[in-house]
A = this chain, B = another copy of it.
Amino acid sequence: MARKPVISAAILGLMRGHARHAWTLEDFRAALVEDEVAADFSSIFRAVEKLVAEHVVRKLILDDGRTRFELSEAHHDHLRCTSCGELIAVPCFLKPADFAVLERDAGIVVSGHHLVLSGLCRECRVP
């Protein structure tokens, strides 16, 4: 090692310790400021970029055009809450059989997917 990757460590700490699971660069910066870790966008960018290259973090691009990052955990899909705007992780319910039908009918080969639902999260849902 040359110099301790303070920012990378702080970012991983944030991602592992917060309820939020999808972070923009701005989210990181704001949270780091709160933790009194002043960091430049470029440093955050490069730290996250490295984590992505190491497959520790995964890149997401959604409908607001801002890049988000989440921990590379087990596959899951997402719900964008139309009320509070949050991005929530939801378990994946797609089955290989679903793809098999599509592959047969459309002549394609499916190797992965990302499903983004829109609707209401648990908190915004009226009981």
| A residues in contact (CB < 8 Å) with B | 59, 61-65, 67, 79, 82, 88, 90-91, 93-94, 98-99, 101-102, 105-122, 125
| Oligomer copy total | 2
Check if B119 sits within 8 Å of A116, measured CB to CB.
no
Chain B positions within 8 Å of A90 at CB level: 102, 106, 108
In the complex, the answer to whether A91 meets B102 with C-beta atoms within 8 Å is: yes
Contact of A98 with B93 in the complex, beta carbons under 8 Å: yes
Q: Which of B59, B106, B118, B122 contacts A122 (CB 8 A)?
A: B106
Q: Is the CB of B105 within 8 A of A125?
A: no
The 4 nearest A-B residue pairs measured at CB: A107-B122, A109-B120, A110-B119, A112-B118
